[in-house]
């Protein structure tokens, strides 16, 4: 397989999953077909425990490893962000596309994202996003954007019918590999979150908002949504079959929200990301939202100083390169520039 001819590398961080990762891989391979021979590869940054890693290697088709369309790199410590960066560094495609290890890729979503990047060669393109949906929801509930008017954790927006600027969203995203990894003129990846093996949380917000501060733009691309597949967190009915309450026991979330990822408390990454992007002002702006949503995992007060310590170096890096402050970003709302059709994408 000619590495120089690769158009896109799909990067996936995987931890202790075999069945869903196998489904996701086969979905990726199917959706890479429209790009033709040599069009793409799948790179898995696996940070599973050793027994599961060996199971995964046995479960994925060896033929794809032999012909170069599948690469599996093993990271012995659990950390979502550094595993994604390891996969990105191992990848050879012109573009990176990031997926979770438990997804079904929307039909033609990869080829449409690649087409968008090929048609938009401007240097200010940061991320382009396909919409995302969930297996228990209808396709018309797909999401494409975040509302930043209240706090940066944000409310989900909707999928869009036409290409348009958006504030930020997590994966699935596509970007230029060279830009993602470039420390001086690009994004510098997950920065402190990766370097310090920070726990789950904050990564999507971190690399979603940072491009705007650096002068890059985020786009929504209308495609079929990529779908999160189960299993989902355990649901407690509290004795009432008509009322479901998400369990507050962290162990119940092991599969879906990486409670075993990183060297710090679960969701600590959100606090670190806030400090890097907007200093203590952004930390304070999000403090209530963090406590309301993730208080069972993290005490913001207890970890406030540590978040600043971990994020200090990258905050200095960002402050020296950004073209606007976070406050200016909220005021200007550059994602509203030149918007066209804001109607939801047809189901």
Q: What pLDDT score does 296 carry?
A: 86
What residue ranges of the chain are covered by domains with CATH 3.90.550.10? Answer: 7-228
49 band by pLDDT with thresholds 50, 70 and 90: confident
Q: What is the pLDDT of residue 257?
A: 45
Q: Report whether 224 contacts 109 (CB < 8 A).
A: yes
Of the pLDDT bands very low, low, confident and very high (cuts 50, 70, 90), residue 37 is confident
Which residues are CB-neighbours of 46 under 8 A, at least 6 positions away?
Answer: 13, 14, 15, 53, 56, 72, 73, 74, 75, 83
Question: Rounded to whole angstroms, how far apart are CA atoms 171 and 11?
Answer: 11
Q: 7-228 belongs to which homologous superfamily?
A: Spore Coat Polysaccharide Biosynthesis Protein SpsA; Chain A (3.90.550.10)
d(CA 208, CA 148): 12
Cα–Cα distance, 164 to 143 (Å, whole number)? 14
Distance CA 185, CA 314 (A): 14
List, as one string, the DSSP characters of 117-164. Answer: HHH---TTEEEEE--EEETTS-GGG-B--EE-SS-TT-EE---BSS-E
Tokens of 338: 């030149």
The proportion of the chain whose per-residue pLDDT surpasses 90, expressed as a percent, equals: 67
- In terms of phi and psi (left: phi > 0; alpha: psi -120 to 50; beta: otherwise), the region of 215 is left
User: What pLDDT does residue 224 have?
Assistant: 95
Give me the phi and psi of 39, to 5 degrees please: -75, -25
Check pLDDT > 90 for residue 140: no
Q: pLDDT at residue 272 above 80? A: yes
298 CA to centre of own chain: 21
Return phi, psi of residue 187, to 5°. -90, -30
Highest mean pLDDT among 125-134, 228-237, 287-296: 125-134
Whether the per-residue pLDDT at 261 is higher than 80: the answer is no
């Amino acid at each position: 397989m000619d590495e120089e001819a690769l158009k896109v590398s799909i990067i996936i961080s995987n931890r202790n999953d075999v069945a869903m990762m196998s489904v996701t891989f086969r979905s990726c391979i199917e959706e890479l077909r429209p790009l033709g021979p040599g069009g793409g590869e799948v790179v898995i940054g696996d940070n599973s425990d050793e027994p599961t890693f060996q199971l995964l290697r046995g479960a994925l088709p060896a033929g794809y490893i032999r012909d170069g369309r599948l690469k599996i790199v093993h990271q012995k410590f659990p950390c979502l962000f550094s595993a994604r960066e390891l996969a990105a560094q191992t990848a050879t495609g012109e573009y990176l596309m990031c997926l979770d290890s438990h997804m079904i890729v929307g039909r033609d979503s990869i080829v449409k994202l690649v087409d968008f990047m090929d048609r938009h060669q401007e240097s200010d393109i940061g991320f382009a996003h396909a919409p995302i949906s969930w297996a228990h929801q209808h396709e018309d509930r797909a999401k494409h954007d975040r509302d930043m008017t209240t706090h940066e954790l944000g409310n989900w927006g909707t999928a869009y019918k036409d290409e348009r600027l958006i504030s930020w969203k997590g994966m699935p995203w596509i970007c230029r590999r060279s830009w993602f990894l470039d420390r001086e003129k690009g994004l510098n990846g997950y920065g402190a979150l990766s370097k310090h093996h920070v726990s789950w949380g904050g990564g999507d917000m971190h690399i979603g908002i940072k491009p705007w501060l650096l002068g890059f733009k985020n786009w929504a691309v209308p495609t079929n949504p990529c779908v999160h597949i189960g299993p989902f967190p355990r649901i407690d009915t509290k004795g009432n079959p008509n009322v479901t309450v998400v369990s507050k026991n962290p162990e119940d979330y092991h599969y879906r929200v990486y409670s075993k990822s990183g060297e710090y408390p679960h969701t600590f990454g959100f606090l670190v990301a806030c400090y890097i992007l907007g200093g203590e002002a952004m930390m304070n702006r999000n403090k209530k939202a963090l406590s309301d949503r993730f208080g069972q995992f993290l005490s913001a007060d207890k970890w406030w100083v540590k978040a600043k310590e971990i994020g200090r170096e990258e905050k200095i890096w960002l402050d020296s390169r950004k073209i606007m402050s976070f406050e200016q970003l909220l005021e200007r709302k550059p994602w509203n520039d030149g918007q066209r059709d804001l109607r939801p994408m047809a189901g």
